[in-house]
Structure 1
Amino acid sequence: MLTRRLFAAAGAAATLSACVKPAVAPPPPEPEKPDWPPLPAFYGAITDEPFPVPAVPEGVVPPELWRQTVANPFPGDKPGTIVINPSAGLLYLVESSESALRYGAGTGAAAFAWSGNARLQFGRKWPVWKPPAAMIARRPELEPYSVANGGMQPGPDNPLGARALYLFQNGVDTLYRIHGACEPKYLGKAVSSGCIRLLDQDVIDLYERAPHGATVRVLHAEMPAELLGVY
């Protein structure tokens, strides 16, 4: 038989047990952040362009892909020459026989489908994107942006980004572009279609430095297996 004292004690114990949180598994540890130095200030947000360019987030782009002056690996090329190594995801602007400015680049199937020498025919700020007919044949949803339809107008969603450099060979458009709009997480990697993509901060810088008529050398590179059939 429950006495008043036992009933009160049982009630108090029940109340206390109700206040104790049930045991739960601890949350998984957050992935360890890379021990990289802070990004250079030139990767901050750009607010004086026709469209905003967001800052590159910390901890996404490894330091070896940051814009930087390096020893020139192509001393035989004259200053102003652009050399692209699709396999390494790197673009070089030759400054002298001793130094070059190196940029990290994202590459796509088109970056591996063409190699050789070309001429930097012209550049465009916030260019219109006009996907070639071969791309539209593969992706019919791009038809609204065809040449006949006037292309995709400039803006944050335009795949060419803030700048584009157009490469010609013997007076003919190669359809090969150096352009912006590379997502930071894809810098230095071969992903999907596209030519040579730089961060918008970097393509704006390259646009100002690269001389009109510059020679552009695209080194031969084997198409990665994951991109076979994309281009």
Structure 2
Amino acid sequence: MDFLFSPKSKISKKLILFVILILAVMEGVGYLIGLIVRYEKDIMENEEYNFKRLIFENLLLKKRINSLKPNGVYIIVDTADNILYLKENNKTLLKAIISAGSGNILIDPSGKKEWIFETPRGIFTVRSKFERPSWIKPDWAFIEEGKPIPKNFSERIEEGVLGEYAIGLGHGYFIHGTLYKRLLGKNVTHGCIRLGDKELKTVYELTPIGAKVIIF
């Protein structure tokens, strides 16, 4: 049996369908809005959690750094900017221009050995202190000058080239003076740390044996 609809019934049907569609859309929009609100709330809560976590981790890191910081007098050497800091706890006693390692490479003419003239990085300890030090020239110094390596030890001794003081860090590395003060602030050394006369005297007098030297 066929159903017959009057024009009014057709309009009513379309109206009902339209209303249903509107309600469905509104329900969908409401659902989406709810999702967005919950998402934003989750983000805010997550950001707040991350912020608190970062603060906590930062505090832990500061405590760890402070625990690693040497007590008393110590030295910090910045080889990139050629700056030395003499510090006592959190106080800076001296800031001085230095010359650190050049990074140059010297190869033995025989090809069996090479030297890289870099200042070592790390944490070191002042092992020795000398007044009016003598330089015991290593093999590379003679090779660099194009001279034969002497067999007599006395021929290796050279006076007056390291300044009035030298502070030993071990493995042949020293903080010492220089004849080439015009080169301070440049990376030109064979690995040692050069200082001007006045600054070297201050560092020598205030830095005890056993003090830490942090080089980076």
1:92 corresponds to which letter in structure 2?
Answer: Y
Greater share of helix: 2
* CA 120–150 in structure 1, closer or farther in 2 if over 3 Å, else same: farther
1:199 Cα deviation (Å)? 0.7
1:134 Cα deviation (Å)? 3.5
Cα distance in structure 2, aligned partners of 1:151 and 1:127: 13
Q: Hey, what does 1:183 align to over in structure 2?
A: 180
Q: In the alignment, which of 100, 104, 107 is matched to residue 107 of structure 1?
A: 100
Cα distance in structure 2, aligned partners of 1:139 and 1:211: 35
Q: Hey, what does 1:85 align to over in structure 2?
A: 78
* CA 117–182 in structure 1, closer or farther in 2 if over 3 Å, else same: farther
Q: Hey, what does 2:153 align to over in structure 1?
A: 148
Q: Hey, what does 1:163 align to over in structure 2?
A: 165
Q: In the alignment, which of 118, 126, 143 is matched to residue 120 of structure 1?
A: 126
Q: Hey, what does 1:224 align to over in structure 2?
A: none
Q: Hey, what does 1:57 align to over in structure 2?
A: none
1:118 corresponds to which letter in structure 2?
Answer: F
Greater share of strand: 2
Q: For the aligned residues, what is the CA RMSD?
A: 2.7
* CA 216–150 in structure 1, closer or farther in 2 if over 3 Å, else same: farther
Cα distance in structure 2, aligned partners of 1:147 and 1:95: 44
| Structure 1 runs not aligned, ≥5 long | 1-73, 169-173, 220-231
* CA 214–194 in structure 1, closer or farther in 2 if over 3 Å, else same: same
Give the greater-gyration-radius structure (CA): 2
Q: In the alignment, which of 118, 125, 136 is matched to residue 130 of structure 1?
A: 136
1:96 corresponds to which letter in structure 2?
Answer: N
Q: Hey, what does 2:215 align to over in structure 1?
A: 218
Cα distance in structure 2, aligned partners of 1:83 and 1:121: 16
Cα distance in structure 2, aligned partners of 1:195 and 1:77: 22
The alignment partner of 1:129 has SS state of strand
Q: Hey, what does 1:62 align to over in structure 2?
A: none
Provide TM-score, normalisation by structure 1: 0.51
* CA 142–194 in structure 1, closer or farther in 2 if over 3 Å, else same: farther
Structure 1 vs Structure 2: percent identity of aligned residues?
Answer: 27
The alignment partner of 1:78 has SS state of coil
Provide TM-score, normalisation by structure 2: 0.55
CA contact (8 A) 2:79 2:119 kept: no
The alignment partner of 1:149 has SS state of helix
Cα distance in structure 2, aligned partners of 1:184 and 1:199: 6
CA contact (8 A) 1:131 1:147 kept: no
1:200 Cα deviation (Å)? 1.5
